[in-house]
Amino acid sequence: MKDAASGDRSYDYGTPDGAPADPASSPDPAASPSEAPLPAGAEPTTTRPREAVMRPVPDSFPTPPPRPADWNRRRLREEEAAAGSPSPLRPRPLLLAVGAIAALLLAVALGGGYLALRSLPDPAATAPAADPGTGDAAAPGPLVLGDLEVELVSYEPGIPSVGDAGDRRDADGEYAVLTISVTNGSAQSVNLGDSVTLVDEGGTVHAPDREASVVHLADSAPYGMVEPGGTEVFHAVYDVPVGTVIDHAAVDFSRYPAGGSGELPL
C-alpha angle 131/231/252, rounded to 5°? 65
pLDDT at residue number 2 = 46
User: Where would I find the H helices in the chain?
Assistant: 73-83, 92-119, 123-126, 210-215
Q: In whole angstroms, what is the distance from residue 261 CA to residue 179 CA? A: 18
Tell me, what's the pLDDT at 124? 57
Residues 120 and 114: their CA atoms lie apart, in Å, by: 10
> What is the pTM for the complete model shown?
0.49
Residue ranges for the chain with pLDDT beneath 70: 1-52, 66-77, 80, 84-92, 120-140
DSSP state of 28: P
Report DSSP state, residue 129: P
Give burial (CB, 10 Å; 0-12/13-18/19+) of 200: middle
CB distance 21 to 40 below 8 Å: no
Classify residue 116 as exposed, middle or buried by CB count within 10 Å of its CB (0-12, 13-18, 19+): exposed
Query: Are residues 191 and 224 in contact, defined by beta-carbon separation less than 8 angstroms?
Result: yes
Indicate the SS3 state at residue 57: coil
DSSP-derived pairing of the beta strands 231-240 and 246-252: unpaired
Question: Whose CA is closest to 206, among 197, 196, 195, 215?
Answer: 197
